[in-house]
Amino acid sequence: MRQGKAEFLERAREFLKVAEMALDSDCHHAAVLCAYAAMFWAAIAALALVGVRREKWTHGGLKDVFRDELVRRRQVYPDRFVLWLSEAYELRCDAHYELITLPVKKVRRLVVHAKEFVETVAEAMKKMKQRRRLLRQRLEELAKVAKRICPEAEISFDLNRVEEIDAWLQVIVPDGKEEEVHDALRPLSEDIHQRDNLWIGLRILERSEVKDFELAGKERG
């Protein structure tokens, strides 16, 4: 899957819309199929939001990874979302493969659950965009301070979250400037953490260190 998070969520919304239309038309089997599909794609979008992707997802694999990554480990979504995914899949199998009449109450409840599931993921994506915008703003503020202290500094950002670190600011400075730059940036980084709940890791390196790393890499290569 090469699409982005927005495309995954848009697919979820499309299926949710059709599920609601099918329910209004008393097409209960179609409503179940589309409601589950909406949750399936919303779960994929939620995982992509935190950097968890697969080329292809199985139904059981998606549920398990969603549970482990987003409910247990990161605690982003409530436990009931895992239960809803399981119940939706079971009802989806009945709707798809069995010639049975589905309980209308269950179908209606499933569509309600799918709506809450999709809307919750959409809200999480909105908050994440706002958070990343603020994170980039704070990185640029730190970079300006580093440049003011050391105009020769080479600065780069890494916005890929690693464990509790939201982003890294790397500053390469001339030899002898590392301590001055680090001492100026560290309290600012801590203030950002306290004020905005964003943890920016600082990687301040002297040029001689970088050259040593590059030389060691070439020797290993």
CATH number reported for the structural domain that contains residue 63 in this entry: 1.20.120.330
Query: Which residue segment(s) compose the domain that 39 sits in?
Result: 5-129
Q: Are residues 172 and 124 in the same domain?
A: no
Do the Cβ atoms of 86 and 34 come closer than 8 Å? no
Q: Total structural domains in the chain?
A: 2
**21, pLDDT greater than 70:** yes
pLDDT tens-digit series, residues 124-161? 999 988 999 999 999 999 999 999 999 999 999 998 77
Coil, helix or strand at residue 198: coil
Q: Is residue 164 part of a domain?
A: yes
Q: Is residue 81 part of a domain?
A: yes
Q: Is residue 140 part of a domain?
A: no
Coil, helix or strand at residue 171: strand
**218, pLDDT greater than 60:** no
Q: Are residues 199 and 110 in the same domain?
A: no
CB atoms within 10 A of CB 74: 11
Q: Is residue 136 part of a domain?
A: no
pTM of whole model > 0.85?
A: no
pLDDT tens-digit series, residues 156-171? 999 877 778 999 999 9
Considering only 33-42, 101-110, 121-130, 155-164, which range has the smallest mean pLDDT? 155-164
If DSSP states are collapsed to H, E and C, what string results for 38-107?
A: HHHHHHHHHHHHCCCCCCCCCHHHHHHHHHHHHHHHCCCCCCHHHHHHHHHHHHHHHHHHCCCCCCHHHH
Q: Is residue 138 part of a domain?
A: no
Q: Are residues 122 and 202 in the same domain?
A: no
Q: Are residues 81 and 44 in the same domain?
A: yes
**213, pLDDT greater than 80:** no
pLDDT of residue 212: 59
Q: Is residue 176 part of a domain?
A: yes
Coil, helix or strand at residue 200: strand
